[in-house]
Amino acid sequence: MKKIQGGVTAPQGFLAAGVHAGIKKSKKDVAVIFSEKPAVGAAVFTTNKVKAAPILLSMENIKDQLISAIVVNSGNANACTGEEGMLAARQMLDETGKCLGIPISQVLVASTGVIGVPLPVNKVLNGIRMACQALSREGSGAAAEAIMTTDTVPKEIAVEFEVYGKTVKVGGIAKGSGMIHPNMATMLAFITTDIGMEKELLQETLREVVDESFNMISVDGDSSTNDMVAVLANGLSGVWVKSKEEEAYLKFKNALEYVAIYLAKAIARDGEGATRLIEVRVVNAESLQKARKIARTVTSSNLFKAAVFGEDANWGRIITAVGYAGEEITVEKIDIYLGKVKVLQKGVPLPFSEEEAKEELAREEVIVTIDLNEGDANAVAWGCDLTYDYVKINASYRT
């Protein structure tokens, strides 16, 4: 497997575009992704009980065997907007289907931005028309820009691998910066591939991959109303996968995991106001569930995140988070490392160099290892530091 250029348009048969429709003052705000051949679709949606209108419609459409297009607007979440919001989301489906000549049941719709504000539907519909006209093999970057809200950089990746003498490609774009928490958050991720796969197997694979990537990131503990991860597989590579035992499946899942984890880490790294990516590794746990729960709890600790921002080796905040994660632990078995600096051994504090620990916390990627010394299950979660700018950004988000 190797990284390539192209994002969601790297796989065969995919086109994309991103345009400025006027929802935002100057930046791109409407994106369309299109598969020239109807693709098998799979998706995972927010666990928030309050779901935006586009999420409700996409949850229905994903039940269809085939998905040909994804339409997205940024700058407005179209959430908590009542029947007017549902009508606007349906109009987005209708316009996309009309422009592309496809059934509206083959369209997924997504929105991101401010909650509780009516969608400027005429601007969005005009943006859809412009985006459909601008679709191209080079449009992934523009689409990645068009789905951004408080993101500071677009998030895009593509990889390819060889199997059965053919080349298979997987590409993706994502957005997310704030309101990010395990079990989905204000994040959108759209992944394309030219491999072929039955819907049930694709859905199962996506769920497994999401659980170890997008569900393992946290920025601020808030889970949103609008998040979605979707994957489209159009089969144009000529490789068709029927079972998990096939070589092609194993290579595809590896590629999908790489793309998803890359995008998930990019979201955590770009957390609102963040200056550092935090990676928490929980090793030698008795179960994967326990390892994931503890890793996610530590990355979600505001006190620990603030300590990373201040480059303060306050490991007590780590062990405290381990303790309230809701899992049974034996403190006397636990070791903790800040980067290469060991600060706790078998539950007992170790003397360590504050300067060396500060150096580890000053890195762009801060790695924390928590060794439970009780089993062989491992998990990794990602987050970011908590800075003054996070408060500034969210104190004036609507203005």
CATH of residue 246's domain is: 3.60.70.12
pLDDT tens, residue by residue, 274-299: 789 999 999 999 999 999 999 999 99
Final residue belonging to a domain, choices 248, 270, 292: 270
The answer to whether the CB of 103 falls within 8 A of the CB of 69 is no
In this structure, the answer to whether residues 171 and 315 fall within a common structural domain is no
Percent pLDDT > 70 in the chain is: 94
In this structure, the answer to whether residues 48 and 140 fall within a common structural domain is yes
In this structure, the answer to whether residues 295 and 355 fall within a common structural domain is yes
In this structure, the answer to whether residues 175 and 304 fall within a common structural domain is no
Per-residue confidence (pLDDT) for residue 175, from 0 to 100: 92
Establish whether 96 is an annotated binding residue.
no
Q: What is the mean pLDDT of residues 240-250?
A: 96
Establish whether 387 is an annotated binding residue.
no
In this structure, the answer to whether residues 261 and 283 fall within a common structural domain is no
Establish whether 155 is an annotated binding residue.
no
Establish whether 152 is an annotated binding residue.
no
Show the 3-state SS of the chain. Answer: CEECCCHHHCCCCEEEEEECCCCCCCCCCEEEEEEEEEEEEEEEECCCCCCCHHHHHHHHHCCCCEEEEEEEEECECCCCCHHHHHHHHHHHHHHHHHHHCCCHHHEEEEEECCCCCCCCHHHHHHHHHHHHHHCECCCHHHHHHHCCCCCCCCEEEEEEEEECCEEEEEEEEEECCCCCCCCCCCCEEEEEECCEECHHHHHHHHHHHHHCCHHHECCCCCCCCCCEEEEEECCCCCCEECCCCCHHHHHHHHHHHHHHHHHHHHHHHCCCCCCCEEEEEEEEECCHHHHHHHHHHHHCCHHHHHHHHCCCCCCHHHHHHHHCCCCCCCHHHCEEEECCEEEEECCEECCCCHHHHHHHHCCCEEEEEEECCCCCEEEEEEEECCCHHHHHHHHCCCC
Per-residue confidence (pLDDT) for residue 399, from 0 to 100: 56
Per-residue confidence (pLDDT) for residue 185, from 0 to 100: 45
The number of CA neighbours under 13 Å toward the Cβ of 221 is 11
Q: What is the number of domains present in the chain?
A: 2
In this structure, the answer to whether residues 64 and 189 fall within a common structural domain is yes
Final residue belonging to a domain, choices 223, 245, 270: 270
Q: What is the mean pLDDT of residues 331-354?
A: 97
Establish whether 356 is an annotated binding residue.
no
Establish whether 399 is an annotated binding residue.
yes
User: Of 81, 186, 192, 387, which is the active-site residue?
Assistant: 186
Predicted TM-score (pTM) of this structure: 0.89
In this structure, the answer to whether residues 206 and 325 fall within a common structural domain is no
Final residue belonging to a domain, choices 238, 270, 302: 270
In this structure, the answer to whether residues 113 and 201 fall within a common structural domain is yes
Of 13-22, 30-39, 49-58, 341-350, the range with the lowest mean pLDDT is 49-58
In this structure, the answer to whether residues 212 and 96 fall within a common structural domain is yes
- In the annotation, is 81 catalytic? no
CA distance 34 to 16: 6
Q: Which of 52, 2, 12 is nearest to 35 (CA)?
A: 12
Q: What is the mean pLDDT of residues 66-72?
A: 98
In this structure, the answer to whether residues 82 and 125 fall within a common structural domain is yes
In this structure, the answer to whether residues 348 and 229 fall within a common structural domain is no
Structural domain boundaries enclosing 317: 277-396
Phi, psi of 258 (to 5 degrees): -60, -50
* CATH number of residue 377's parent domain: 3.10.20.340
